[in-house]
Chains A and B, each alone.
Chain A
Amino acid sequence: MFNKLTTIKNCIVLLPRKTVEFKRSLQSKSSQVITEAVCADQNHVENSTNPFAVNKKFKANMLENEKEDLESFLSATNTDNKMGRPAISPEERERRLKVLQLEAEVARQEGKRVPTLDSLKDHHWDQIIAMPSRSARMRLYSFLWRNAAIAESKKIKKQEKAAGAQERIEAIRKERAENPHIVYGLGNVSMFLRVYDTTINHWMNHRLIRAMMFSPKIVLDCSYDNQMDRREAENAAKQLMLCFAENRAHDDPFDLHYCNVDLESACMKRLQSFIPTMLNPDFPMNIHSECFTEIFPKDNIDCQKDLETYNADDVYVIGAMVDKRHAEPLSLAKAKRLGLRVARLPLDRYLQWGSGSGKSLTLNQMVNILLDLKKTGDWVTSLKHVPRRKVIDSKERLASFYEKQKNKVNVRVDKIFDDDNAIFKPVNSVRSHKKYLKFNLSTWGSKK
């Protein structure tokens, strides 16, 4: 693991949460690097004049939402569903295991979607015994059954395909034998040298190592393990892996740091299964079990950082948490506690947001946005990484376009067919631009 302790001014901390809240944290007191984190908070997006608006699935008990059913908010804050389970004695465990096996067998005999008992391994049983309810178990069985069914149908297809393989090979051989000319092309005669995967890997790793010396830093804060349940943690691990991969493949990588890592947690275990060499000393991935506040020295920067102009000098902290179940402003809370500044991506300003799936972004989408922002400095191109289904639906868009245009003459129709134009708002109105110049935390959440 690389030791990154120089007086680096800016590091962006990405907390391993699936829905990234990109927090900008500012150290309010003296000294050290200001970790900036953009906090994605849904309410703020809705009623702020602030340009930073990464939204998250965080609930906001703000004005507009007060009458909504906020049951999903603050519901099920079961923080110790994995951690605090008391150890059970081996006999007890044995007994429970037997009953659960019988349960699975009977359910299978009834025709429910349960895989055969042979296919359930020990690690499955560990998970199953720890599960709180029968319906949770049945959901897991259903998932495993489905995987098994898919694998089996793939096997059948492969066998069917293999049946005809022999003839196909013969046909190709015959054709080649009949052809007296040289065949040019990949796999035959060509002027290109084969570039192996390992070569590319070495090259990308080298770029990463160079990035560690010279590029701005982003921190992924993995401290939210006990707020995520197992499935969310595994999703978070996949996103972390994608973050790393997409960062490595980009033209101009960041220096990623994973902080507050607990190697025993479900998320990290899954990440290790994705990247087995993660902990090797010569693998260019920075894992820290300490908090980012301890690793990166903090400078005192007085001026307000405007995400409008991405500043390579700032440390960005992104909360890496998957919160499918409940939308709580956990990283906003953490930022407040640590006294860090928060900011959001200006999603509202640049995109017309559709109605589906809230304003939450995955970790790798977040990193991609930042990477492109660093490279081009242009919001429109970098926000292309936001998936299309979240922005305004094309039917909606068409309908709203017609609505506005119905009384006009000389309407230009070609604009609506241009995908990019339609979902990005025009940024040329002078008056609105001035509004977003200053970032003021205390008025951030207020209405326009």
Chain B
Amino acid sequence: MGQYSKEQFARFKKTYLENRKALEPKEWCNIKRTLKSEFKHINDDNIDATIIGACQSEQLELAKNYIDFITHSGEQPNDATLGYLLRIYNAKYHSNGSSPESLSDGDQADVLNIWKILTEKHKILDSTLCENLIAGLVTTRRWRDGLELLDMIKITRAPSIFAYTEFILKAFSMKDSSLGWSLFEEMMETIDNSRQPNCKIFLTYLTEVSDGVQDTTSGLEKMLQTLEKYNLLVSVKVIDSIKTLAAAYPNLLQATHCHINYMGKCSNCQLSLQAKTLSNVEFEKLRNSVLKKVVVGGDVFQKSTPKEVNDFLNFVDRTAPYDCVIDGLNVAYSKGKKKPQSLADMLVSVVKHFAEKNKHVLVLGRKHMNKWPKNSVQYVKDNASMFLADNLSQDDPFLLYAALKSGPNTDIFSRDLMRQHAYLLGSELKYIFRQWQQQHQYSLVTKTASGRIVIKEPTRHLVCAHKTESTWHIPYKMQYTLHSSDSFEIPEHWLCLNIKKI
């Protein structure tokens, strides 16, 4: 609400409104006067909504009292005021347990009345009013009528997570799981990829699904499949809820915490986690897009020249397949030294690591690398294929293209997170790219004084919730975060859940 000093407004709330249920008309007039004088941006049009917005979620009576004051002065509350009032009803509903009886009949009638007023006033409602109406309608029995409000929001913007969440929670608590899940999928498709849904959804679902044996297992499976589909990481509260569910049906479900070792093996059930593989189709798509979008991008001159791209494509056709493609400069500069000798040494040690295992590698670099110490450059040339790009060109896209062209088993060696390339591929391919990257990217951790290099290997197993035979392995995090991390850490905490077939 505006950008006035937050502390100032908090003080105002405390002095006048805290813990009050009702105020005299005189006191309301006084408050209005004070507000208008203290805060420059508050005027007659927005003061009503400001005051209602200042009422805490428990202060429903106070808000209603103010509305009465307005009507007694002869005016009607404006749209924004009604909207905020609906939010307070919604907050009360949730604090009373989110059941159909949480709000009194009188209050529910109020809400429906407000709905009638607003829909009669405007043929099409804007997104804020729609969302506030949704918040109000889910407290009543006529919540289904609110679904058309979602479509109304879509005219001007994508519906927010709040709107979807409210409907999903209501659908689950009214035992309409199919509607809930379809809305959930719609939500995941439309919202920003980095935001995660609220864990309340899963908690509500689990409480509803715990009636009846048949429902439990299939319902649980459905939830876990959704987690897998959208690569979601749940919080520990959901895991506790699953465990209580498992305790209620001990002959069907067994849930235990476990650890996954680096080979992908579960410490509890000793099963190996599913290895990540991209399907052929996905791999093809990824490969084609990389050439088009990342190497060439909007303008091939931005990253390279057409001649160079052609030379590179021919080179790769000649010398592929590789076991690993090394980003020469990224590796060389890992330690932060600047002298050509140290740079060349880093590269040599990495190439040696692979050469000793008789692997065929491709090293990408730039033309100025020819100026490095001759022995090192010669060693690299003898033990690997080497392609040097122009000093003006970007070499990362070449790296990705070479690795993808040479096949699904080729790894890359770089510390670069490649975020900008992931972005360029577009949202659906971004996910595939990230999977491929997690599975195939080696990175150099450090080089010890003795000359040995420490490498971080890629994780070959899936890191989302998935099923192997009849056991689900579910990763979770200790705290709910609004945004999913785009990181490359494998989750530390896992739950091993065995679901017996009936």
Is A119 positioned at the interface, with any CB of B under 8 Å from its CB?
Answer: no
- B473-487 contacts to A (CB < 8 Å): none
Is A70 positioned at the interface, with any CB of B under 8 Å from its CB?
Answer: yes
Of the listed stretches A99-107, A194-202, A261-269, A403-411, chain B binds A99-107
In the complex, chain A residues whose CB is within 8 Å of the CB of B391: 442-446
The answer to whether B124 touches A99 (Cβ under 8 A) is: yes
The answer to whether B1 touches A103 (Cβ under 8 A) is: no
The answer to whether A71 touches B420 (Cβ under 8 A) is: yes
Is A390 positioned at the interface, with any CB of B under 8 Å from its CB?
Answer: no
The answer to whether A134 touches B394 (Cβ under 8 A) is: no
Given contacts A73-B420, A74-B297, A329-B302, contact A102 B330 (CB under 8 A): no
> In the complex, what residue of chain A is closest to B340 when comparing beta carbons?
A447
> In the complex, what residue of chain B is closest to A61 when comparing beta carbons?
B394
The answer to whether A70 touches B333 (Cβ under 8 A) is: no
Interface size on A, residues (CB 8 A): 44
In the complex, chain A residues whose CB is within 8 Å of the CB of B81: 109
In the complex, chain B residues whose CB is within 8 Å of the CB of A447: 368
In the complex, chain B residues whose CB is within 8 Å of the CB of A107: 80, 128
Is B145 positioned at the interface, with any CB of A under 8 Å from its CB?
Answer: no
The answer to whether B394 touches A336 (Cβ under 8 A) is: no
> In the complex, what residue of chain A is closest to B395 when comparing beta carbons?
A61
Is B191 positioned at the interface, with any CB of A under 8 Å from its CB?
Answer: no
> In the complex, what residue of chain A is closest to B298 when comparing beta carbons?
A77
The answer to whether A99 touches B420 (Cβ under 8 A) is: no
Return the CB mask of A79-103 against B: 1 if under 8 Å, else 0: 1000000000000000110111011
The answer to whether A111 touches B2 (Cβ under 8 A) is: yes
A442 to B368, CA, bound (A): 10
> In the complex, what residue of chain A is closest to B50 when comparing beta carbons?
A111
In the complex, chain A residues whose CB is within 8 Å of the CB of B390: 445
Return the CB mask of A53-88 against B: 1 if under 8 Å, else 0: 000000001010011011101110101000000000
> In the complex, what residue of chain B is closest to A48 when comparing beta carbons?
B391
Is A295 positioned at the interface, with any CB of B under 8 Å from its CB?
Answer: no
A133 to B390, CA, bound (A): 40
Is A110 positioned at the interface, with any CB of B under 8 Å from its CB?
Answer: yes
Is B79 positioned at the interface, with any CB of A under 8 Å from its CB?
Answer: yes
A26 to B362, CA, bound (A): 36
Is B453 positioned at the interface, with any CB of A under 8 Å from its CB?
Answer: no
The answer to whether B302 touches A328 (Cβ under 8 A) is: yes
- A25-61 contacts to B (CB < 8 Å): 61
- Out of B42, B79, B302, B329, name the residue touching A333 (CB < 8 Å): B302
> In the complex, what residue of chain B is closest to A134 when comparing beta carbons?
B157
A36 to B341, CA, bound (A): 38
> In the complex, what residue of chain A is closest to B416 when comparing beta carbons?
A66
Given contacts A77-B298, A99-B155, A445-B391, contact A110 B419 (CB under 8 A): no
Return the CB mask of B280-305 against A: 1 if under 8 Å, else 0: 00000000000000000111011101
The answer to whether A337 touches B423 (Cβ under 8 A) is: no
How distant is A445 from chain B, measured CB to nearest CB, in Å?
4
> In the complex, what residue of chain A is closest to B418 when comparing beta carbons?
A70
Given contacts A108-B45, A110-B46, A113-B41, contact A79 B298 (CB under 8 A): yes
The answer to whether A337 touches B125 (Cβ under 8 A) is: no
The answer to whether B126 touches A103 (Cβ under 8 A) is: yes
How distant is A129 from chain B, measured CB to nearest CB, in Å?
10
The answer to whether A96 touches B420 (Cβ under 8 A) is: no
How distant is B293 from chain A, measured CB to nearest CB, in Å?
10
A315 to B486, CA, bound (A): 48
Given contacts A99-B155, A102-B122, contact A446 B368 (CB under 8 A): yes
How distant is A64 from chain B, measured CB to nearest CB, in Å?
8
> In the complex, what residue of chain A is closest to B415 when comparing beta carbons?
A67
How distant is B487 from chain A, measured CB to nearest CB, in Å?
13
The answer to whether A66 touches B80 (Cβ under 8 A) is: no
A329 to B299, CA, bound (A): 10
In the complex, chain A residues whose CB is within 8 Å of the CB of B78: 109
> In the complex, what residue of chain B is closest to A66 when comparing beta carbons?
B330
Return the CB mask of A108-125 against B: 1 if under 8 Å, else 0: 111111000000000000
> In the complex, what residue of chain A is closest to B304 when comparing beta carbons?
A336
A251 to B485, CA, bound (A): 58
The answer to whether B129 touches A102 (Cβ under 8 A) is: yes
How distant is A326 from chain B, measured CB to nearest CB, in Å?
10
> In the complex, what residue of chain B is closest to A334 when comparing beta carbons?
B301
A333 to B207, CA, bound (A): 59
Is B3 positioned at the interface, with any CB of A under 8 Å from its CB?
Answer: yes
How distant is B295 from chain A, measured CB to nearest CB, in Å?
12
Candidate in A61, A73, A107, A442 with the most chain B CB atoms within 10 angstroms = A61
- B376-428 contacts to A (CB < 8 Å): 390-392, 394-396, 415-417, 419-420, 423-424
- Out of A66, A77, A99, A334, name the residue touching B126 (CB < 8 Å): A99
The answer to whether A106 touches B155 (Cβ under 8 A) is: no
Return the CB mask of A323-361 against B: 1 if under 8 Å, else 0: 000001110111011000000000000000000000000
The answer to whether A337 touches B392 (Cβ under 8 A) is: no
A79 to B298, CA, bound (A): 9
The answer to whether B125 touches A110 (Cβ under 8 A) is: no
A260 to B20, CA, bound (A): 67
In the complex, chain A residues whose CB is within 8 Å of the CB of B17: none
How distant is A108 from chain B, measured CB to nearest CB, in Å?
6
How distant is B145 from chain A, measured CB to nearest CB, in Å?
20
In the complex, chain A residues whose CB is within 8 Å of the CB of B128: 103, 106-107, 110
Is B136 positioned at the interface, with any CB of A under 8 Å from its CB?
Answer: no
How distant is B303 from chain A, measured CB to nearest CB, in Å?
8
In the complex, chain A residues whose CB is within 8 Å of the CB of B157: 133-134
The answer to whether B124 touches A67 (Cβ under 8 A) is: no
Candidate in B2, B301, B392, B417 with the most chain A CB atoms within 10 angstroms = B392
The answer to whether A77 touches B297 (Cβ under 8 A) is: yes
A129 to B126, CA, bound (A): 14
In the complex, chain B residues whose CB is within 8 Å of the CB of A99: 124-126, 155-156
How distant is A54 from chain B, measured CB to nearest CB, in Å?
16
Is B53 positioned at the interface, with any CB of A under 8 Å from its CB?
Answer: yes
Given contacts A109-B81, A134-B156, A333-B302, contact A67 B333 (CB under 8 A): yes
How distant is B72 from chain A, measured CB to nearest CB, in Å?
20
How distant is A45 from chain B, measured CB to nearest CB, in Å?
13
In the complex, chain A residues whose CB is within 8 Å of the CB of B180: none
Candidate in A99, A107, A329 with the most chain B CB atoms within 10 angstroms = A99
The answer to whether B79 touches A109 (Cβ under 8 A) is: yes
A443 to B416, CA, bound (A): 25
A334 to B302, CA, bound (A): 9
A67 to B129, CA, bound (A): 46
- B294-320 contacts to A (CB < 8 Å): 297-299, 301-303, 305
A77 to B36, CA, bound (A): 45
- A393-444 contacts to B (CB < 8 Å): 442-444
In the complex, chain B residues whose CB is within 8 Å of the CB of A111: 1-2, 41-42, 46, 49-50, 53
In the complex, chain A residues whose CB is within 8 Å of the CB of B423: 71, 74-75
A95 to B3, CA, bound (A): 31
Is B83 positioned at the interface, with any CB of A under 8 Å from its CB?
Answer: yes
> In the complex, what residue of chain B is closest to A62 when comparing beta carbons?
B391
- Out of B48, B127, B298, B366, name the residue touching A134 (CB < 8 Å): B127
In the complex, chain B residues whose CB is within 8 Å of the CB of A61: 303, 394-396
Given contacts A61-B396, A71-B423, A111-B2, contact A106 B302 (CB under 8 A): no
The answer to whether A112 touches B2 (Cβ under 8 A) is: yes
The answer to whether A109 touches B80 (Cβ under 8 A) is: yes
- B98-155 contacts to A (CB < 8 Å): 122-129, 155
The answer to whether A98 touches B53 (Cβ under 8 A) is: no
Q: A63-B329, A109-B80 are in contact. List 15 more A-B contacts (CB 8 A).
A: A67-B416, A74-B302, A75-B420, A75-B423, A100-B156, A106-B126, A106-B129, A107-B80, A109-B48, A109-B79, A110-B84, A134-B156, A337-B301, A443-B391, A445-B392
Can you give 17 A-B contacts (C-beta < 8 A)?
A61-B394, A63-B333, A66-B329, A67-B330, A95-B155, A96-B156, A100-B126, A103-B156, A106-B126, A108-B46, A110-B53, A112-B2, A113-B3, A133-B157, A333-B299, A337-B301, A443-B391
List the 7 closest A-B pairs by CB distance, nearest first.
Answer: A109-B80, A333-B301, A103-B126, A445-B391, A111-B46, A446-B368, A61-B394
